[in-house]
Amino acid sequence: MNPLKAISLILLATAIHASAAPKFALVRVKDIYAALPSTTVLQQETKKERDEIMKNERAEQLRTIIAELQTLQSQLSDKNKPLDEATNKKLARTYEIRRQEAQTLQQDFESFKAEQELAINKKMVSGMRASLQRIVKMSTKIAKEKGFVTVFDSSGNTNTGLPFILYSKQAPDITENVQAAIKDSDPAEKPVEKAPTKP
């Protein structure tokens, strides 16, 4: 066979194989999400709303009653300053009444806290989902523009705890492309909707 013809056949076979081979790319979704300004805003708002729960009137009242109970307990158990029987009975009665009030208020506050935490978590999940959808959309757009057939999240794990990508040899990583493209469209400056607070 003519050597030139043989080389041409080899090059043709290589080109066919190369064109037939799927083009994969990687993207680190976790890194992109963490770097988004909107992620920082969401985290700050979530922390602020959780802190506000502990500033609720119920929490303030509960702290006041607990402080009173500690004072009463200290007076009742102080052996250096023993109380007369009448004072002891009066303080013990006051202690029991305040203890019951604290118990009722504790239950009320825990119910309020659970409701607020649920609302905050729903808002947080909604914000995360919106950001992840934007990352997926932008990753898909860039992958199509660059001619990739499939894009894998190299920062994700399977339900067994193992990474999705067990091995890759010089696979293109489009993380920086996605970050650059999504940066200008990040709605971090928009006010984050606050979780409703029950009075």
Residues 26-66 pLDDT 10s:
999 999 999 999 899 999 999 999 999 998 898 899 999 99
How many angstroms separate the CA atoms of 113 and 43, rounded?
A: 19
pLDDT score of 15 more than 50: no
Which residue from 3, 21, 4, 10 is spatially nearest to 147, judged by alpha carbons?
A: 21
Residues 99-110 pLDDT 10s:
999 999 999 999
How many angstroms separate the CA atoms of 174 and 28, rounded?
A: 8
Q: What is the pLDDT of residue 7?
A: 42
- Mean pLDDT, residues 53-80 taken together: 88
Query: Band of the pLDDT at 196, cuts 50, 70, 90?
Result: low
DSSP 33-96: HHH-HHHHHHHHHHHHHHHHHTTSHHHHHHHHHHHHHHHHHHHHH-SSSPPPHHHHHHHHHHHH
pLDDT score of 18 more than 80: no
How many angstroms separate the CA atoms of 84 and 82, rounded?
A: 7
**Cα first-last separation, the chain:** 90
Q: What is the pLDDT of residue 11?
A: 47
How many angstroms separate the CA atoms of 109 and 129, rounded?
A: 30
Predicted TM-score (pTM) of the model is: 0.67
pLDDT score of 193 more than 90: no
Percent of the chain with pLDDT over 90: 46
Q: What is the pLDDT of residue 189?
A: 43
- Mean pLDDT, residues 170-176 taken together: 89
Query: Band of the pLDDT at 1, cuts 50, 70, 90?
Result: low
pLDDT score of 169 more than 90: no
